Structure 1
Amino acid sequence: MPSGKVHLTVELALLPGWVAAGALIGLPRPHLTAFALSYTCASLLLSPDLDLARSAPASRWGPLRLLWAPYARLFRHRGLSHSLFWGPLTRLLYLGGLALLVLLPLHLWLGAPLPQAFPTRILPPVLTGVYLSHLVHVGLDGVWTQMARRLPNR
């Protein structure tokens, strides 16, 4: 498999091309910005390799990397977490569950307001950024595996 550095380098190297393609087809600037931010955050912080207890994406969370330990225990490496549809969804739902575990007690005990609305117009470019970053990661894994199979054993 490619190293974490290779994954990140390829994912981020492709970002200007994705943004340029979006601009060429006329996507509005706020959508391009939301896409670029979500793609970058997904590449850095929501990689499929969070299913490994010790990984570069987990370490980027700093002390909060411990929050991803249960996720790594739930999903075996290159299993559901690397699925084209379910992989990003598992991480987004897991992250949403963590947010709920923080926000709900604050709301119930301290009366802190809960978020009321999400700007739904920005949801498609955000999800596209998360999913495209994932697709590049998994695609690179597949290409790497195919290349390794075709090379003669040394």
Structure 2
Amino acid sequence: MPGTKKQYAIAAAAGGAAAVFAIFVALAQTNAIAVPYFTPVALQVDGLKEKYAAGENASFAVTANGYGSNCHSLEVEATHNDNGERASYYNKEDDCRFMTITHGKYNFTQSFDYGSKVMGKAGMYTVDIKFKDLVDNKEARVTKTFEVK
């Protein structure tokens, strides 16, 4: 039994709406447009070089980009690749119970300075960075490596 013109029009409209919604979500995921619910969190690491001289200080900053709540956690761990030994560790987690939760664009940057305790031993290092929005459950993770000679 062939469909009526009305059924074909409804099916075409539904298909068109689905296509437009898919494009909308794809643009939000690439941060081409700002849509808080569909925009993922992204981490940016600035200032971390690939090679350092032994004893040289390493300074870098971690910035969270995207949209979410003001309650989050950040964990940064540097390990020496040769022996797996932890060279440094940072962990900060907000206690959401005692803060007024707001939503909007992330306004979060944390700076790090690695001195001779980390940079005094030659070898390859891995820095693992984890950010989590504790209200919206959005997560991002970045791994960087550098060498100390």
**What TM-score range do you get, normalising by the shorter chain?**
under 0.3
More helix by share: 1
More strand by share: 2
Larger radius of gyration: 2
TM-score by length of 2: 0.25
Q: Which has the higher contact order (CA 8 A, sep 6+)?
A: 1
